[in-house]
Amino acid sequence: MHRLIVTFAVCLAATTGTSVVVHPEDLIGDWQDHDGTLYVFRENHTMDRRYSDYDWGPRAHWELSGRGTIEISDPQKRSEKTLIRITGFGRNIIYLRWPDGTNSVWVKTSNRPNKAPEPTPGRRDAHI
């Protein structure tokens, strides 16, 4: 009986303590969630979030922590960070948990290196 309890405890610790392995280069590209929001991650650790005519500030900064968390800093609110926990990752799909406990799934729509976007005349979401 003691051996069974120890085996169960070891298996439980192995399954609950594992974190998702994601490298910064895995995030580079365009990701879209079920609402149509587009998350653009660039090599220089800047990103944009676009939905309709809404944007996440001039250019947010992102980091990937060793704990499987994406840390996003809005340049307009330097002291505030959004911490998004990665709960699962595949080649073109990522499962996330937001700070408020809601879950989200993003699908990769582009693997391009995402250099700074060129402004498009007449478009409201163009960045300079």
68-114 pLDDT tens trace? 899 998 777 767 888 999 999 998 999 999 999 999 999 999 876 54
Q: What percent of the chain has pLDDT over 70?
A: 66
| Cβ partners under 8 Å of residue 53, min gap 6 | 124, 125
Instruction: Identify any residues that bridge with 93 across adjacent strands, giving them in sequence order.
Output: 107
Contact present, 38 and 110 (Cβ < 8 Å)? no
Q: In the predicted model, what is the mean pLDDT of the chain? A: 75
Fold observed for domain 20-110: Lipocalin (2.40.128)
